[in-house]
Amino acid sequence: MLFLLGYTYFHHMNYLTSIGRYAIMIKDVFKKPTKWRIMKSLILKEVDELIFGSLGILIFIAFFMGAVVAIQTALNITSELIPKNLVGFATRQSIILEFAPTFCSIIMAGKVGSYITSSIGTMRVTEQIDALEVMGVNALNYLVFPKIIALCLYPFIISIAMYVGIFGGWMAAVFGGFSTSADFIEGVQLDFIPFHVTYAFLKTLVFAFVLATVPSYHGFYMTGGALEVGKASTTSFVWTSVVIIVANYILTQLLLG
């Protein structure tokens, strides 16, 4: 019993230490900025890697996600009393409110998150971060800040994912014979609340910050060798997903509750 209590205590202390260290890291990211001439090229490189590099996979996922939502909704309409435009309406709402911002962010935690953790982790293992620090470079600003700025464009790819998701739903509903094009489009336009899009983009911006910083934290503070870089990437994916899901709940409660 005593062992269990001790174990739980130290386990929680570890979490608290990590949260504290993460907060200090965020503060240090914005300290002692790198020269703008260098920072500009770092940001452009990260935009290319993190934003444009993720566009293809997110479009692919969004298309099929929308298609599946449309089919599932259509198959669950069994009563004649339910209007046919519900397929379009449900697809739009699901895609804009949850699937595009949250589901895509979980996918990004795997793609972008593990890339960030492994690239920074490898720099730690091979002493490249020590080299930056010895030179007097703020390694956190140099490595993490460009990623935060690049991921500010994340809502841009999520907006594309929204369009493609709804388009995928239309394709599946119309060509699968579940709804007519007119019914689907009527549903998509029905009771549209613009704030839902604002809410989705606000959420996306918070997720973008999480996607840039949580994996960076796991890479920057890792210790060990190549094996630990792999482990850090896995841990980073788990924690980024957890933080996104918790943040999603809190933001939904705050903005829509």
Partner 1 sequence: MIEVNDIHKSFGDTHILKGVTTSFSKGKTNLIIGQSGSGKTVFLKCLLGLFTPEQGSISYDGKIYSEMTDEEKRNLRQEIGMVFQGSALFDSMTVEGNVKFPLEMFTKQSQSEMQDRADFVLKRVNLVDAHHKYPSEISGGMQKRVAIARAIVMNPKYLFCDEPNSGLDPKTAIVIDNLIQEITEEYDITTVINTHDMNSVMEIGKKILFLKDGLKAWEGTNKEIFKTENETVTDFVYSSDLFKKVRQMYIEERN
Residues that bind partner 1 (CB under 8 A): 34-35, 37-38, 122-123, 126-128, 130-131, 133-137
- Phi, psi (5° rounding) for residue 34? -75, 150
Of residues 105 and 141, the one with the C-beta less far from partner 1: 141
Judged by phi (left if over 0) then psi (alpha if -120 to 50, else beta), residue 223 lies in: beta
Decide: 240 and 211 in contact? Cβ < 8 Å.
yes
Residue 65's closest CA among 17, 34, 104?
104
Q: How far is the CB of 123 from partner 1 (least distance, A)?
A: 8
Give the sign of the dihedral formed by CA 147, CA 66, CA 91, CA 252.
negative
Q: How far is the CB of 124 from partner 1 (least distance, A)?
A: 11
**At its nearest, how many Å lie between partner 1 and the CB of residue 226?**
12
Nearest Cα residue to 100 out of 163, 192, 191, 193: 163
DSSP structural state of residue 100? I
Q: How far is the CB of 45 from partner 1 (least distance, A)?
A: 8
User: How many Å is the Cα radius of gyration of the chain?
Assistant: 22
Closer of 89 and 142 to partner 1 (Cβ): 142
CB of 29 or CB of 139, closer to partner 1? 139
Nearest to 254 by CA among 205, 204, 199: 199
Given the complex with partner 1, which of 12 and 45 has the nearer CB atom?
45
CB of 11 to partner 1, least distance (A): 19
Which CB, 43 or 188, lies closer to partner 1? 43
